Structure 1
């Protein structure tokens, strides 16, 4: 199938398919002598897989990394994606039910208790903290929380200012090479800052950088300081960790 036929079939733009080709995410099986891209059945299966990952919030760079991994298994990926989508549907169904009840409550068709109005929300756990615990264990996180809790309000305020200063500095450097002297000096400040709150080894530091890109929640918050900052920090943290070992 030619690129226009594929675009019409799946409901995306030709430009999107060109972009996927340019970044090496979906390379057409063949190209005609006149330069037309030709997509095979295998290409279409790959495209479907890409869409499943996108629906679950994976960025394109991470999708490419996963699908190019030597251990990638399409059927296993489909099982994982199915389970993730079922969980997503479960959460969405709960939220829709609560919205429907809220509409009825606003129309005085039923009366919701104050507890029912917030039944679909759960702020009891910090998702960032939970994921960090799962990846690196409890020790570093517990030590970090304990140190912050033991600080005075002024010390915590000063720590917050230091955080902003480091991120603003890194944001100004994000278009430089992550290996540059300036970038490495700034990322070292981030490493020192983190170790004021916990015990972050070089391996943990490098893993944290990767998480900035893998998890769209982190990427979104970090990139508020400047588009592309999360990726820049990931690369700079990896260089720093490797050089310091």
Structure 2
């Protein structure tokens, strides 16, 4: 003979929902028992299973419990329309997760975090743009930064990428010299090339160069960035090479 009413354990066995979740749904008036026995046991009509299954389905569609409480009050047709609208949100989430997974794979393979496309199509700015904004915040009132920014704005996107690639090539060359003293002729020749690169954008006095050297050495993001060029501490090596170059250069 079929049970006219279902106990909590029956609901758990049929749907897979936990007892804790079922009790919580009761407390927030989302899914209440049909009957409550004198000794406090919850009992449910078999027909109420459809409502619970709808709730569980909507949870899988990533609706909040508050949203679900409103949706289950609607007609079946209205529920279908809202569910289809949610499809677009889920598709966007899927694409976002695919981007995150791709970024994780690239990061694990050694790509620098500043080159990842993780923040594209996000309210969070891409890391390179964050760095640019940070530089503007720190140095935006200085004449050197204003000249740098004005020069940068005259370049096309391809030209910017080309200049960035030139700088990376310099870092790679410097990394091959990491076994030499920072004061060696070869290292200092490359530091002079590095300075010439910066001079394309703005005049770099000793104060600006020291600031850049300090950032290279002590900013963890730059440490991680330089790690792609050498297993040694390239950030510290650059710092020492730049400081030596400043100290030996007549002011």
TM-score computed with the length of structure 1 as normaliser = 0.48
Higher helix share: 1
TM-score computed with the length of structure 2 as normaliser = 0.47
- Radius of gyration: which is bigger? 2
